[in-house]
Structure 1
Amino acid sequence: MAIKVNNWKSYNDVPLQAGEVLVPQLVSKEYAAGLGANMANLRTWEKSGISYLVMFIPVPKDQEKQAWSIFNAEVNELLDEKLGPNRFSRCMVPQPDGSKKPCPKKKGNNHESCANCPFRNIYEKEDRATVSLNELAEMNYAAGAESHIDDDYKVEMLLEDLINKLEQKNPKLARIVNLSFIGYDKDEIFEDTGVKKSQGYDLWNEAERLAKEFLYN
């Protein structure tokens, strides 16, 4: 989805003051109407097949980053609510023999990106709750490390605990671990989390450090 900032207008048509910028806010029609919003200034955006309504509010330039973080967190909560625990799962692609296999990671032009896939929201999703602990041990975070984790633990419980801890520090760290676990490569993860490569690698390294600390210390 291309975001055209130049087309944004304040929800109530009030001109920006010096030092202010517009940022999106997740809203319902009822909430926006109650604020007296000009409904023509609202936009319907879509992510992962889920549509949501946004309006644009003015904030001081030095609060822009924080406002965006709040907005992204709210959108993520909405997607978690709508799509459930398998939100980040890969699609199960039908095979000629009648079986189904997870869609492979995108490498070069081997297939369309998830955003442009014609089968998006059509194929069923892989059930990550049935993944074995052996797959967790194959994560990049586990490379070269010895685990003292009890093999009887269910992987979903372990991953959920790790994700919850990372969410408290930085939601982007949690997303990086979650997406990496299910097989997304770094470029896909950086695109999904909306960060540039330089920032993405910093977040990746921090996520790797914290995940190792959680899993093996």
Structure 2
Amino acid sequence: MAFLPLLKKSILILTAGFLVKTALASYRKTQPGLKILNYDAKSIFLGIKDVYLGPRKLKARDLLILAAMAFTILSLYRYDEEISNWFRRRGETALVVLKNFGWYYGSPENHYMINAGFYLYGFFFRNEEVRKAGTLLITSSLAAGLLQTILKIITGRARPLREEGKFSFKPGSRENSYYSFPSGHSILSFTTAYALATQVRQPAL
């Protein structure tokens, strides 16, 4: 759809203009704003650090859960191609709007833009809850994004489009077609869902 790139650029320009206008209107509050930015930057750094040092704090119960998850994933890997084909067939009948939404807004650059927009809204409009949610979103996305990028390069698993089978690996490859594991879209989706869920106060939700 040729209009999608144009629509995407238009939204970016309008969003940037709105944020600049809001920033200028809030200029008189710059000093408190700088303190908040400094505090949030430290929170993001410490949060990412905690993610990577967290495994040191795992207890026996956590290790059992991790082992069970690994066993389940390895067991399902036997049916990887069958599962992939099933979902791809269903994708042919899915609504184009939903497919485009999932693809464009699940991509890293758009995902980070949305997270930044979340944070900036809370920052400029002095909404602490939204700002904290934005901080958590940025932290989880950066931590997960870095990890999945490293794992993609290390594993070098071929994408289905190469049609080389589920055991095709090329560790250290620089070709994007060998970056199928782990799924960046899935990781960013789960981290975003979890980060937002922690901000919901109603247990039923």
Q: Is TM-score (shorter-chain normalized) higher than 0.5?
A: no
**More strand by proportion, 1 or 2?**
1
TM-score range, shorter chain: under 0.3
**More helix by proportion, 1 or 2?**
2
Q: TM-score, normalised by structure 1?
A: 0.22
